[in-house]
Amino acid sequence: MYFTFIGIILARPGSYKTVILNLLRQWYCIFYTDNFSRKAFQSHMMGATEEVLNKIDMLPKIKNKHFLTPELAPIFTTDGEELLASLGIITRIADGHGLATDSGTHGHREYGDTMFVWTGAAVDVPYKVYKLLGNLGFKIYFFRLPYAEKNEDELLEDTRRTFDQKKSNIESALYDYLGWFEIGPNLIYDEQSDLPKMRWDYDREYSDNDNGNNNKQSLRWIVKLAQLLAHLRRTAQTWTPEGDDQGQGSDYGFSVTQPEDPRRAIEVLKSLARGHALSMGRNFITLEDIPIVVKTVLSTAIIDRVGLLRLLIAKNGTLVTSEIMDALKVARKTALRTMKELWAVGLIDMKDDTSIVYTKRIILKEEFQWLLNEDFQKLLEGFEPVDNRAFMKAPKVLPADKQASANKCRTIDSGSLVER
C-alpha cells in the first residue's frame, strides 16, 4: 500500500525555508511553483479546448515527481468556502488516485492514479486548518524547524563565509549524493513510473536480531507514534456550561471527533523513516530512523496540545492546574479548558484534587506511559516544537467599497473563475 507524502516545513520568516526547497529545484524529477490555485490541478477554464486543458493542468505535471511549493500561506490563510475547497482538493489527491471533477463548461474530466511527493513551507498553521482537516481527513504532515537565537559572536562567525558560498557547497554535495544514489547497484528501474526504485530488504527490517539490533522494535515505535498522533489530531471543542461563566471548578462541556484509523499514518510514517534510511545508505529501517518520525508527529499535532503534553512528560505524567498556569502563563479558566481538551481526545485521565479548591489533576493514560520511558527521551533528542504563530501575517481585508469593486471584475460560471 502506498500513499502520497505531503510534508510542510514550518518556520519563522528568514529561516531559509525557501532556500532549503530551492536546493532541489534543478533536479530532473522536480516540479516547482511559487504560487498556484486549487483549480490549477485540473482546470475547467471557459473557452479552452480539451487539448489546451491537458497542457495546462498541473496534476499530470506532478505525477511521479517531487512537487515543491515554497510558500503555502496564501492557501492556509484564506477563509470560509475557499479554504475548505482547497483543503478538499489536497486531501483528495493525497490518496494518489488522481482526481475527477465535473462542470457545466467541460463536463467530466478525470486523471487516474497520480503518485507524487509534495514538500512545501509556511510560517505556521492556523487552528481553522486543523479543524477542517479533522473533518476532511488528516493527510498533511508538518515539521517544525528548531530555532535558536544567535549571539553577536555567532553572527560574526557566520560572516566568515558568504551565504552564496555556503549554499553552493551544500548544493554541490546534495547533487553529488543524488547522482551516486541513482547509479547504485540496488536500484531497480520501474517501467510504470519511469523512475529508479530501491530494492528493499524487508526481511532485515522485520528482524528481531540483526547484528544485535532489533529492527522490528523500530517499526513498533512507528505504530506507537501513529496511535499517539491519532489522538493528538482529534478535533475537540470545549465550552463553559450555562451558569458557570467563570469556569471555576466545573466540568467543561465538550464534543470530539472519533480518532482516525492509525493504519494510514503508520504507512506514511514508515515511508518517512525509509526515506531517512536511504539517506543514510541503508535499505532497511533501524532505530536511527525513528527520531525524524518522532519530531514529525509532534510537529504535526496542534501546537498548544503538544505543549501541554511535553509539560506532562516533564512532570513524570501528572500535573495540577496551578502548574499549567505557571508553566504556560495562562489563566485558570484557560488551563482548565486545555486540560479538559486533552482528556476529551483520550490522552489523560482527569480528577478533582481535593487538597486545593478548584484544582484538577491530570494523569497520562496507561497506554501512553511509554512517553515517560528513557528510550523515548533518547529518540526525542531534546526536540521542542517551535510556535511561530506570532509571525503569521493576517490576510488583508479590503474595505467594503473596494471589495465590491473587486467582485465586479470577476465572472463566475458553473465550473470556472475567470479573471477579467
If asked whether residues 264 and 128 sit together in one domain, one would say: no
- Specify if 90 maps to a domain: yes
- Specify if 154 maps to a domain: no
If asked whether residues 242 and 315 sit together in one domain, one would say: yes
If asked whether residues 254 and 130 sit together in one domain, one would say: no
Query: 119: pLDDT confidence band, cut at 50, 70 and 90?
Result: very high
If asked whether residues 232 and 84 sit together in one domain, one would say: no
- CATH number of the CATH domain containing 115: 3.40.50.300
Domain housing 367 = 202-387
pLDDT of residue 270: 94
Q: pLDDT tens digits, residue range 63-77? A: 999 999 998 988 888
- Specify if 223 maps to a domain: yes
| Mean pLDDT confidence for 226-254 | 71
- Specify if 166 maps to a domain: no
How many domains does one find in the chain? 2
pLDDT at residue 191 tops 90:
no
If asked whether residues 141 and 211 sit together in one domain, one would say: no
pLDDT at residue 4 tops 60:
yes
Q: Which residue among 126, 147, 168 closes a domain?
A: 147
pLDDT at residue 403 tops 90:
no
If asked whether residues 140 and 276 sit together in one domain, one would say: no
Query: 269: pLDDT confidence band, cut at 50, 70 and 90?
Result: very high
If asked whether residues 143 and 242 sit together in one domain, one would say: no
Q: What is the pTM of this model?
A: 0.86
If asked whether residues 116 and 51 sit together in one domain, one would say: yes
| Mean pLDDT confidence for 183-211 | 83
pLDDT at residue 175 tops 70:
yes
If asked whether residues 135 and 224 sit together in one domain, one would say: no
Q: What is the 3-class SS of the chain, one letter each residue?
A: CCCCEEEEEECCCCCCHHHHHHCCCCCCCEEECCCCCHHHCCCCCCCCCHHHHHHHCCHHHHCCCEEEECCCHHHHCCCHHHHHHHHHHHHHHCCCCCEEEEECCCEEEEECCCCCEEEEEECCCCHHHHHHHHHHCCCCEEEECCCCCCCHHHHHHHCCCCHHHHHHHHHHHHHHHHHHHCCCCCEEEECCCCEEEECCCHHHHCCCCECCECHHHHHHHHHHHHHHHHHHCCCEEEECCCCCCCCCCCCCEEEECCCCCHHHHHHHHHHHHHHHHHHCCCCCCCHHHCHHHHHHHHHHCCHHHHHHHHHHHHCCCEEEHHHHHHHHCCCHHHHHHHHHHHHHCCCEEEEECCCCCCCEEEEECHHHHHHHCHHHHHHHCCCCCCCCHHHCCCCCCCCHHHHHHHHHCEEECCCCEEEC
- Specify if 95 maps to a domain: yes
If asked whether residues 367 and 247 sit together in one domain, one would say: yes
- Specify if 158 maps to a domain: no
| Mean pLDDT confidence for 192-213 | 82
If asked whether residues 97 and 224 sit together in one domain, one would say: no
- Specify if 57 maps to a domain: yes
If asked whether residues 111 and 206 sit together in one domain, one would say: no
Q: pLDDT tens digits, residue range 127-136? A: 888 888 877 7
pLDDT at residue 245 tops 80:
no
- Specify if 255 maps to a domain: yes
